[in-house]
Structure formats: C-alpha cells, structure tokens
C-alpha cells in the first residue's frame, strides 16, 4: 500500500482535524503553491465559503505537506466531497528548503464556486491552527477574512 504527499491549504492545515478524519498522518513540513491564490469561493452546504486555490500569476498559497496512505486519501475524498464538490489534482509545491515536491490537493469544481462568499470564523480558525508554521505575512492575510 503506497503513500501519497498531500498539500493541505484549507481546514486540514489543522492536523488535529485531519487526524480526526483519516487517522494518523505524518507532517512533512510547510510548502507553497506558486502562481496560485487562496480564495473562499467554494460554496459550503451552510452557505459560507470554503477554501479553494485558483491560478494567479505571481501569487502563492501556503500550506502543509502530509504523508498519507492511499486509503486515507480515499477517506479524505469523502470529507472533501470528491469528485462532486472538489476534485483531486496533482500540483508541484516548493518546500521551505526550496525543494520541488509533487503533491495531491483539492480544487473546487466549477458548479460549486461562487464569488462574494466569506469563511465562517470557526472554519478560518482551522487554517490558523497552523499559524506557528506559516509566514507571518500569510497569517495576516488569512486574518483579513474574518467576518
């Protein structure tokens, strides 16, 4: 059974939330997805915005890299509503050490994207659970999304 590197940029940056969902995972470190931006334009069932990444030249999205087993990734698909709400995609991210790593992440499907959404504060808190690991400037950007 193989392992996969997963790039979490949304609520799964809270390692406790991820462990509740899929069991033990290994935190590999911090990474950034270049030429993308973080948006909260994925419509939740409650009407607020979930995290999503979209191409944006010159921007970057920070997140955490985890090693997960393939069956854990299948379980994560269930939580992420894949392939209906999010689809799993491969991306190349850059670690803090400057190493390029191929990872799996989730991108919102078009039919569930809406402009003008805001994240719920409790949801944003899951992203900010990783604030000790993220660059201070990125944490400040996340804080701006508070309702």
What 3-state DSSP class applies to 101? strand
Cα 87-61-97 angle, rounded to 5 deg: 115
pLDDT tens string for the chain (147 positions)?
Answer: 699 999 999 999 999 999 999 999 999 999 999 999 999 999 999 999 999 999 999 999 999 999 999 999 999 999 999 999 999 999 999 999 999 999 999 999 999 999 999 999 999 999 999 999 999 999 999 999 997
Q: H or E stretch including 36?
A: strand 26-43
For helices 136-143 and 121-128, give the axis angle rounded to 10 degrees.
Answer: 180
According to the model, what pLDDT value does residue 147 have?
76
Gap between the Cα atoms of 71 and 36, Å rounded = 28
Q: What CA–CA distance (Å, rounded) separates 63 from 47? A: 24
Alpha helix stretches (DSSP H) within the chain:
15-22, 70-80, 121-128, 136-143
Domains, in order of start, for the chain: 3-136 (3.10.490.10)
The pLDDT of residue 1 is 62
- For residue 143, what are the β-bridge partners? none
């Amino acid at each position: 059974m193989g392992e996969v590197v997963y790039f979490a940029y949304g609520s799964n940056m809270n390692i406790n939330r991820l462990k509740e969902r899929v069991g033990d995972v290994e935190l590999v470190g911090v990474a950034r997805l270049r030429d993308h931006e973080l948006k909260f334009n994925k419509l939740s069932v409650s009407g607020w915005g979930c995290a999503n990444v979209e191409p944006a030249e010159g921007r970057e999205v920070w997140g955490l890299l985890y090693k997960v087993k393939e069956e854990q990734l299948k379980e994560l698909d269930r939580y992420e509503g894949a392939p209906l709400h999010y689809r799993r995609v491969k991306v190349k991210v850059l670690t803090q050490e400057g190493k390029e790593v191929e990872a799996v992440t989730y991108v919102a499907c078009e039919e569930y994207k809406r402009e003008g959404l805001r994240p719920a504060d409790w949801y944003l808190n899951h992203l900010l659970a990783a604030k000790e690991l993220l660059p201070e400037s990125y944490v400040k950007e996340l804080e701006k999304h508070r309702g």
